[in-house]
Amino acid sequence: MTVPPPDHSLVRLLAGWLPGQRWFGGKDGPIDELSIGTATELIAGDPALHHLVLDVRQNGATDHYQLLLGARRELPERLEAGLIGRLTGADGITEHVYDAVHDAELTRALLTYMANETLVGPLQFRRAPGTGIRTDLDGSPIGAEQSNTSLIFGDSYICKLFRRLSPGVNPDLEVNLALSREGCAHIPAVHGWIELEPGSNTGWDAAGDEPVTLALLSEYLRTATDGWQLALTSVRDWFAQPAQPGAGPVVTAEGAAAVGGDFGAEAERLGAATAQVHRDLAAAFGVTQAPASALRDAVFAMNEQLDQVSAAVPELRPYAGAIRAVFDEVAAAAGPLPVQRVHGDYHLGQVLRTDAGWVLLDFEGEPARTPAERRAPAHPLRDVAGMLRSFEYAARFLLAREGDLPADTSEALEARAQAWADRNRAAFCAGYAAAGGPDPAAHAALVRAFEFDKAVYEIRYEARNRPTWLPVPLRSLARLAG
């Protein structure tokens, strides 16, 4: 299949298919224009594989999305989930075009190209120094992701395809390579990556000399367990414990630790691992002293985001006054602050528990932030605040999905949720401080401001992308603001 010009029916098929994808970030408005910015043939014949960068214009701005496009005359049933549509060429042959991440026969070529550091048109495939890459493994996509797509190759590799592309080197690649050079024990090893040569797509809003990162190939931690799932299991067990004699309907933290459902020890170990990664980040990228004016500017941005989200999400407005008061308190007491590279989007879904300890993933920053914001240095307690918010999320996630609970039961479970969150927040902070991180208790106002800023971001993100999750941050915000 030859990729057609922009006015061909493939563009119309893509414009109809794209809004239905979980990783598409423009679900809150119509597509004004879609064009194919770059098209590269990776495999010819039947089946064929093409790499596309789609330029999508919405609300006066252009975003860029990556697509591996497969083409087959006959589409096997196993690939029907990725079907985009059917096209008939000038030769009268009809082909099925589909999202090729589901096609192991085609995606195997990604490993071969990275192993050989192949250049295909504007695409450069890279292999990390000192590593080898197996090329005989089939890939299968993970189904749970939101903003990217990852392929698991056997028991060896995970290849993350960045769906929504940003100009320049992706922070996830930049940070992981830097931490690898520092010998950091809390990240998976990098094996390779794929990049788009600078200047290949004239439709980028921001030009630069850096290549655009398309994918990152890392060590696959087969026996690891997702931190979010571990936390939810703990919450379920905690909720299931019977009331203790004389304690009313609430299971106390100490009681839960004795009978099951406790996560405190893991939370403390996670805090220590976080502090170690922050030290390695400081060694790799350095630490600078930001003046007091920088913190006041940051608070101004927090208030600006609060105004925007309050206007868009009415449910936030009752808490805006309390949030703004915390922001203003931090601005009034602003002083010089050490800043460094941080994770940027830190929560329980970004960590894995392995036999050797905790591992941190996904250093690309918050999806709704600009590339400059994602790479900007920040105080490490911003990451701490993100994880504290995640404990609140985990504690109340099950409650938000139980809308038909009787009032008395709901109140009892809310009390248990608060006890679970409080215990694990404290354990995480204790582990973080004991391992050399700045003590959150000594910077309580700053941590609280970072927490509120993260909560406002979460509410904006959920309202745009996962409206059914919106009650989760709102429920915890009610307690924090109170």
pLDDT in tens, 262-290: 899 999 999 999 999 999 999 999 999 99
Angstrom distance (rounded) from CA 264 to CA 244 = 19
**Better-scored residue on pLDDT, 404 or 114:** 114
Angstrom distance (rounded) from CA 477 to CA 393 = 10
**Better-scored residue on pLDDT, 417 or 194:** 194
**Better-scored residue on pLDDT, 315 or 4:** 315
Six-digit token pair at 355? 């036999």
Lowest mean pLDDT among 56-70, 117-131, 357-371, 374-388: 357-371
Contact 173, 193 (CB under 8 A): yes
Angstrom distance (rounded) from CA 155 to CA 153 = 6
Q: What is the mean pLDDT of the chain?
A: 90
Angstrom distance (rounded) from CA 3 to CA 21 = 21
Six-digit token pair at 273? 């691992």
Task: Identify the burial level of 324 via C-beta atoms within 10 angstroms of its C-beta, where 0-12 means exposed, 13-18 middle and 19 or more buried.
Answer: middle
Count CA atoms within 13 Å of residue 262 on its CB side: 14
- Say what the pLDDT of residue 6 is: 42
How far is CA 417 from each of CA 152, 248, 404, 446, rounded to the nearest angstrom? 34, 15, 17, 24
Mean pLDDT score, 440-462:
95
The predicted model scores a pTM of 0.85
Pairing type for strands 94-99 and 83-88 reads antiparallel
Contact 396, 416 (CB under 8 A): no
